[in-house]
Each structure stands twice: as C-alpha cells, then as structure tokens.
Amino acid sequence: MTSMSRARVARRIAAGAAYGGGGIGLLGAAAVGVLLAEVRMARRVVGNGHSPHPPSAEGVYGHTHGSRYGRAYGYGSYGSSYDVPDDPPLRLVMLGDSTAAGQGVHRSRQTPGALIASGLAAVAERPVLLRNVALPGAQSDDLDRQVALVLEDPAQIPDVCVIMIGANDVTHRMPPTRSVRHLSAAVRRLRTAGAEVVVGTCPDLGTLEPVQQPLRWLARRASRQLAAAQTIGTVEQGGRTVSLGDLLGPEFEQNPRELFGPDNYHPSAEGYATAAMAVLPTVCAALGLWPEEERPDVSRREGFLPVARAAAEAASEAGTEVTAAMPTGPRGPWALLKRRRRRRVPATDPAPTAAAEAQPGA
C-alpha cells in the first residue's frame, strides 16, 4: 500500500472516530479469522519467562540511593549517580498495554519505562518519578480507566505521559474507529489536565515469528493502517507520536533471537531498549529539553505535511515523530514530521547506558 493510499484510509478511520462513524474493517472477515487463529497460537506461550507479571519499575530515577525524594515517595532510587536534592522530580507516567508495562523481561531496569526515565533524568539533569498504570492485554478502551487513575489526584498531574497501545486492538478485532476514538479521548483529557503526551503507535504484528505469510503481510498492513490513524487522532488533540511499527519490524525480523523475549511475542531487553531510544528524544522535545532546529532538515526528509500524509509517512519509517504544526487549512490540519537521531543500546546494563546515550546529538 502506498503512503497516499494509507493516508486516505487513515483519514477515513480518524474521521469515523471523531464523528462517531462505524468501524472500517482493516482486513476481510475471513482473513481476520485466520489471522486471529495464528496469533492465538503464537500467544499460547506468552508470558514473562518464569513469571506472568512484568517487573515493577516505579521509582525515582536520577538520584543516589536514599535521596529525600526517594524516601518521600516511598520508592528506591535508580539511574545515574548525580544528586540534585533541591529540584522536584519530573513526573513520567506510562500507559497502555504489555509493551508499556514491560512484559517479557526479568529486571525492572530493562522495561521501557525505566529506560525512558533514566534517559530523561540524564538529559534534564534532575530526578524523574516514574509511575506505570499500563495493563498487559489492554485494548484502547482501557485507556479511559488508566487516565482516570493518572488524573485522580490534581496535585500529582504528570509532566509527560507515554502511551503504547494498539496491538491488542488488531488481534481482538476492535473497530479501528473505536480504537482511535478512545486514544484521542485519552490524549485530550491528559493534555487538558496539563500533561504532555507522546504516543508510541501500534507495533508491527507482522514480525511475530509463528505467524507465516501471507498472514504476516495482512498483519503488517492492519498494524500500519491503525498506526497512521492513531497519529492523526493524537496530533489533532495536541499530542506527539513516534512510529514503532516499522522500527520494530525489519529489525525484529532480522534479529528475532536478540529482539524478542523467551515467549517470541514480547520484546527482549534489547528490543525494549531499541523502542525506548526511539521514544526518548520526543519525550525530551515535548518538555523543551531537546535542541530544536529552526527549520526541518530536508536532507533527512523532514518537513511540514498534511497530518494524514505525515501519519502515513511515519507509519512506514522507524522512529519518526509527528507533531501538530499549523492551523487547519484547505487540505486539513498540518503537522511537522521529524526523524530524530537514535541509537540502539546494549541489553547488558540498559538503564545507565540509556541515560548516557540519551544526550542530544548522540
């Protein structure tokens, strides 16, 4: 499917979500049925190594152990060794499904939340308080509950929220208009409360090892269509997106033993590090911590595009960021498409490495 075709489909899905339209099928009913059977077979062994639960990574990052903020919030301290006791911590919250929760790894420091928090603390040079309300197996309709948890205390509004959602919507046949409607509502509520929002869009389900062709192609097509529609819905509500589908596609396909965990479904520590390093620059940019060029870098094919076209382009390329740029015009809302530098980090000690490699221009 060309980017223009994907843009048209994404625009239709987003419009249906905004105006309460019915579901627009991403795949034919027969194909979806067979795909679901394949995916369910692939997921029979899904777990977290020896435990079905992801490790908890909540805590204060960027402080030496025993700092007053770690004690005040009842958490231990992680990350880099500098100590800035007078700076209040930035508040980072992870929402979404098992990917946001970090299912598939054994150590808390290997989860995407811990990696992003460590990197953010290094760039901001201040502590970061991480909270994670993501639920393994969640679909986009669970975001309503998760956002309510995040906003229940007006005195604890996060500075930035990272949402990773979408894979279960595809495998459970949630109509994409409904999926995008729930995501858009979540972004709107968080932005209205004052939090910045970064969405890691639907990953590429065509990379699951047990799923064979032609179902891999169908899964990839459905994933990218949903990712593009998610981008439109998010950007229109004032959030930013980072495409994970293509990022986790070719790299996972070429290195499945390195980037998938023991269950062959969730990412390994190396896979989560790859995803976290794609999301981290956008999280920093949302908080004004990343140096911004005055104009898009044409050599990197960055630029201002109608939001639907930017969404389609992002769904096809690893780690591409899309954010609102201009008011609505004759061709609809516009967006800025950026391809920020990213580097994959080793899985041996991801939290400190993530913090070190998060520096702008790395």
For residues 189 and 251, give the distance between their C-alpha atoms in angstroms, rounded to a whole number: 34
Number of H helices, E strands in the chain: 14, 10
For residues 162 and 147, give the distance between their C-alpha atoms in angstroms, rounded to a whole number: 12
Task: Indicate the SS3 state at residue 207.
Answer: helix
For residues 35 and 41, give the distance between their C-alpha atoms in angstroms, rounded to a whole number: 10
Q: Of 98, 140, 179, 223, which is the active-site residue?
A: 98
The set of residues, in sequence order, having a beta carbon less than 8 Å from that of 204 and lying 6+ positions away, is 219, 220, 223, 224, 244, 245, 246, 248, 249, 252
Q: Of 223, 246, 266, 316, which is the active-site residue?
A: 266
Q: Is 50 a catalytic residue?
A: no
Q: Is 65 a catalytic residue?
A: no
- State the DSSP H helix or E strand holding residue 196, giving kind and residue range, or none if neither: strand 196-200
Q: Is 98 a catalytic residue?
A: yes
Start-end of H helices in 78-163: 98-101, 112-124, 143-150
* Beta-carbon count within 10 A of 53 CB: 10
In 3D space, the residue among 355, 359, 360, 357 whose CA is nearest the CA of residue 61 turns out to be 355
Q: What is the distance between the terminal CA atoms of the chain, rounded to a whole angstrom? A: 33
Catalytic residues: 98, 263, 266
